[in-house]
Structure 1
Amino acid sequence: MLPRRRLGLTELEPGIISLGTVKFGRNQSVKYPDSFNLPSNEQLRELLAAARDLGVNLLDTAPAYGFSEERLGDLLRGERQSWIISTKVGEEFEPDKFAQEGRSWFDFSARHTRASIERSMRRLRTDYLDIVLIHSDGNDLDILEQSPVIDSLCRLQQEGWIRAIGISSKTAEGGLKAAELCDLVMVTYNPQNPHEEAVIDRCRDLGKGVLLKKVLASGHICHDAPASGKDALEQALAFALGKPGVTSAVIGTINPAHLRANCLAAMAVLHD
């Protein structure tokens, strides 16, 4: 079973590996090295069962992940209390029925924020959300300082709809600001892109949680590795999980074997 770490000052304790669910509901305009078909419900049930057995207990989703929220809502019936659910607000995605590309657009208004949270709760069949992250368009500081989204999320948190709030940031400056304002920050961090390391350090100083994204560079680290994929995987996870202040690495997959390999590699590098 994966060890767990406290998410900052919250009461949430995710396993050191969390499961990203982009591939549950979207296969257009994504940055993975190989194309893929959306999995069946049976395949997803097998994946979630494997995740539960391994100690993975945080599922990361978003409205921009196509049908991911709806599918999770159906798949987790009767199991809500077993999972930490993290979703997002701000980005919307419109798939193209006739091509392989879709279109993202962003709205950080108070009205859209509340409507998005209400919709996510309906889709996920839950009366609360453990984590809600702002899905940044890249203008982190403008979003945090000029839009009403933080105030809106804080009000919803006070009303009991959300347990923890944060941002999935795209700049170090935005992540550092979010560390002051939020419960947690999700940052990109891997050997090819260590540029937000200062955010992790700041969160650690402030007692804030840190979730990592793109730990495997959307799969490219293992896919492009000249040596064995296992070596590249363990090196990336050692880099990510060995950094003080990191709570959990969110890695997306729809392959139970890949999930097991990720978890076993994570446990191996922590014991080295």
Structure 2
Amino acid sequence: MKNIKIGNGELSASQISLGCMRIAKLSTAQASTLINTALDQGINIFDHADIYGGGKSEEIFAEAVGMNSNVREKLILQTKCGIRQGFFDFSKEHIISSVDASLKRLNTEYIDILLLHRPDTLMEPEEVAEVFDTLHNRGKVKYFGVSNQNPMQIELLNKYLNQKILINQLQLSITNTGMIDSGLNVNMKIDPSIDRDGSILEYCRLKDITIQAWSPFQYGFFEGAFLDNPKFPELNATINKIAETKGVTNSAIAVAWILRHPAKIQTIVGTTNNQRLKDICKASQVELSRQEWYEIYRAAGNQLP
């Protein structure tokens, strides 16, 4: 597994992260097997959120790894907060209570990375800056990031923060390429030219913010996977053809397509299938040519100007 530098380069992590949203459905033994499979494949970063399984995912993770100081040193733990039932909450009180609860569930004294989960339009950036300082100074959180935020939202935060935003978690897959489409269709009066995200891809590259791609196999918001889906015959035929030439599975090609981008995007995969995880991790060793990358992009129904 190849590693990438996160943000400004102080932290190095595997290209692929294991998303832990679904492990709440696993037994402790099953979760232990999955996590050890990830570690054996070179994955060292694990993505959590306080809402995953209502907190149960974090609890099972800690039990499954047998969390102690020796184990903790091998892991990069990332969690998120800010989503509540029916609203978003970036208040000082909620962030602190959420972090304290995650620390207890994960049985650890610190979180490596804390992300603000979805934007909160009622956010007071000065208040967020204060709580980030508190968490950092108390040794509870080392690094900070956001999820699904546009450039101006990040700029607003960074105006006040002493701990700058190092990560932005965004939806990206072969069939969800809005941040790429607008950059390819500049000066065109067509739908793909519409910049819905404020040039977030280029912004993150300029500001040394690592993009973490979530739902790399999904089409739409949560409509299902595009792999082996009869709705996408040309795309699957193209992916399968390239997968055969590379000696890997279609899921590895789907992830390799994201990793090929020079933005050095980290991909979060949420599978709980051990063999599929092994197959996906082979993406780190797959080199797609420029021609292959664009062939897959076009097969998803995208037209080049």
The bucket for the TM-score relative to the shorter chain is: 0.7 to 0.9
Question: What is the 5 A alignment of 1:91-240?
Answer: 91-92=83-84, 105-136=87-118, 140=119, 142=121, 148-169=127-148, 171=150, 174=153, 181-197=164-180, 198-217=199-218, 220-224=225-229, 225-226=232-233, 227=236, 231=243, 232-240=250-258
What is the SS of the residue equivalent to 1:253?
Answer: coil
CA offset at residue 51 of structure 1? 0.7
Aligned counterparts, 1:45-60, within 5 A: 45-60=32-47
Higher Cα radius of gyration? 2
RMSD over aligned Cα atoms: 2.7
The aligned counterpart of 2:80 is 88
- Tell me how far 1:3 sits from its aligned partner: 0.5
Q: Which residue of 48, 60, 69 maps to 1:71?
A: 60
Of 52-61 and 198-207, more deviation after overlay is shown by 198-207
Distance 1:170 1:8, change over 3 A: closer
1:220-252 CA-partner distances (Å, limit 9, x unpaired): 122525336755534432331112223410110
Give the distance between the partners of 1:21 and 1:124, measured in 2 at CA: 12
Q: Are residues 118 and 124 of structure 1, via their aligned partners in 2, closer, same or farther at CA, if it must alter by over 3 Å?
A: same
Indicate conservation of the 8 Å contact 1:143/1:149, yes or no. no
The one-letter amino acid paired with 2:177 is: P
Equivalent in the alignment of 2:196: none
- For residue 44 of structure 1, the aligned residue among 31, 36, 60 is 31
Q: Distance in 1 between matches of 2:21 and 2:76?
A: 16
The percentage of counterpart residues that share the same residue type is: 26
Cα distance in 1, alignment partners of residues 262 and 156 from structure 2: 19
> Which stretches in structure 2 are left out of the alignment for 5+ residues?
181-198, 244-249, 293-305
Matches of 2:124 and 2:202, distance apart in 1: 22
Q: Deviations over 1:21-70 (max 9, x none)?
A: 11112xxxxxxxxxxxx222111111111111100111001111011111
The alpha-carbon deviation at position 104 of structure 1 amounts to 5.5
The residue that corresponds to 2:10 in the other structure is 11
Alpha-carbon spacing, 1:146–1:9, altered in 2? closer, same or farther (3 Å): closer
Count of aligned residue pairs for this structure pair: 246
- Matched residues in 2 for 1:270 and 1:159: separation? 44
Q: Contact conserved, 1:109 with 1:147, CA < 8 A, in 2?
A: no
Which one scores higher on RCO, CA 8 angstroms, separation ≥ 6?
1
Q: Do 2:258 and 2:265's aligned partners in 1 also have CA atoms closer than 8 Å? A: no
Letter in 2 for 1:75: A
Which stretches in structure 1 are left out of the alignment for 5+ residues? 26-37, 93-102
1:108 and 1:147 in contact (8 A); partners too: no
CA distance 1:126–1:206, change in 2 (3 Å): same
**Alpha carbons 1:212, 1:246 under 8 Å: kept:** no
**TM-score, with length taken from structure 1:** 0.79
Corresponding residue SS for 1:14: strand
CA-CA distance at 1:216 after TM superposition: 1.5
CA separation of 1:207 and 1:143: change in aligned 2, threshold 3 A: farther
